[in-house]
Amino acid sequence: MGQQRKQAHFNVFLRGSGHHAGAWKHPDAETGTDLDLAYYAKLAGIAERGLFDSLFMADNYSGLGRRLEPFTLLSALAAQTKHVGFIATVGTTYNDPYHIARKFASLDHISKGRAAWNIVTGHSQADADNFGRPGHPEHSTRYDIGTEFVEVTKQLWDSWEEDALIYDRDNERQIDHSKIHEINFQGKYFNVKGPLNIPRPPQGYPVLVQAGSSESGKELAARSAEVIFTAQQTLGAAKEFYTDVKSRLIRYGRTPNELLIMPGLSPIVGDTEAEARDLQEELDSLVDSRHSLKRLSNYFTVDLSEYDLDDLVPVDKSKPYGFSQNGISSRHEAVVDAAIRDKMTIRQFLSRSYAGHGHVSFTGSVLQVADFIETWLAENGADGFNILPPLYPVGFDAFVDKVVPELQNRGLFRTEYEGTTLRDRLGLARPANQHKRLWALGREAN
């Protein structure tokens, strides 16, 4: 028998009318739905029909994103779904570990083991302003805080042993207090006594996700993450990133299969390539290119609007990759790297930016999209994809109803859900309670 082919994993990135910059103007878009629970429930239903692993909810603490707060939305969706997982983005710079450990434990219990945490550190001074902080911490400091924050939350989840709840009617005992423990964590940034006031989550820990491709981000992923979202726009860059991050795991006693790498992918799908190209051109025509050129010019020392659209992107005028080190520097690297590798014109650069806002986009027939996914899997550019449909809900329907069956026919995607938890679907082990053995030894010593 031949070696089993790598199976794709998919989650879908929830976002209003879609991820193409012109989506909200398209006649098939459903606008005004950003705050509508029924709309998100419909998207969750499409995800379950397509056997997706999870829904991903981005979040931040400033700006005018028109986003519902993730815990509130995903808890509501958990009650209306059975299988799909829920990835909530929560920042470590403007929260406290106890509060977040409690919320994720609650979401994991409500969903019966389908919660995941997308760990971010925050990205702007506006976040600091909204929380009354004197300033936004420097990039490396934010990641130091984030690393310690994750460790505290894991210890809090472990502060309850699995069998602490006993409901012993005869002896009038609901809880075995000997199996609940203070953590007494004392670190550089946090001092937390514990224990948590809710039992350990069904998955042990919610699945730990990290989004970011900076050096600090890759190291945090290697140390703690089980899924990493990234934004490589070319297969070559994706393969380099994949090899780099997987090779770091050994330093933390981990193996490559303990971390799934899932780049963002915005697929524009048609029954034929011509049909897909027509849809892309229709969506592109809805975007004001002047605003997009102004935004993309932030990556350069020149104004792109002063160039002809058929000129090559002036990559020699790009700002150094570290120019935004106190923001999201990795997205700049991915965007400019793609222009270099693919020798793009400014027109192509614009079109690429419309669809995936920094992630790779691909326009083609059902077979071509399936070929793209198969190639990235086979050549170790990805373990799956964070799907960014260009247009909701029709673009998501097209992927689920056409691309997914083609991948199933190729043996590259599940035909039914495995197990009951998100960890089961992702092939991730349930973490052992890191304190249980030490606590047991302490009881024996006494």
Binding site for FMN, residues? 59, 89, 139, 143, 213-214
Binding residues: 59, 89, 139, 143, 213-214
Q: Is the dihedral of CA 387, 393, 398, 401 positive or negative?
A: positive
Give how far the C-alpha of residue 65 lies from the chain's centroid of Cα atoms, to the nearest Å.
Answer: 17
Burial class, 237, CB count within 10 angstroms (exposed 0-12 / middle 13-18 / buried 19+): buried
Helix 37-49 and helix 70-78: axis angle, to 10°?
60
Strand partners, 185: 192
Q: Which residues fall within 8 angstroms of residue 324, CB to CB, at 6 or more apart? A: 332
Helix 346-356 and helix 273-284: axis angle, to 10°?
90
Cβ–Cβ under 8 Å, residues 9 and 51: no
Q: What is the dihedral of CA 289, 299, 92, 144, to 10 degrees?
A: 170
Within 185-285, residue ranges assigned H as helices are 215-224, 235-248, 273-284
The number of helix segments (H) and strand segments (E) in the chain equals: 16, 13
> Smallest Cα–Cα separation from 422: which of 218, 231, 101, 201?
201
Residue count (the chain): 446
Angle at the Cα of 232 from the Cα atoms of 231 and 234, rounded to 5 degrees? 150
Distances (CA, A) of 352 to 56, 276, 355: 22, 14, 6
Give me Rg for the CA atoms of the chain. 23
Strand pairing report for 115-120 and 165-168: unpaired
Q: Which residues fall within 8 angstroms of residue 171, CB to CB, at 6 or more apart? A: none
> Smallest Cα–Cα separation from 344: which of 372, 315, 365?
315
Helix or strand (DSSP H, E) at 90: strand 85-91
Unique residue bearing structure tokens 């939305």: 73
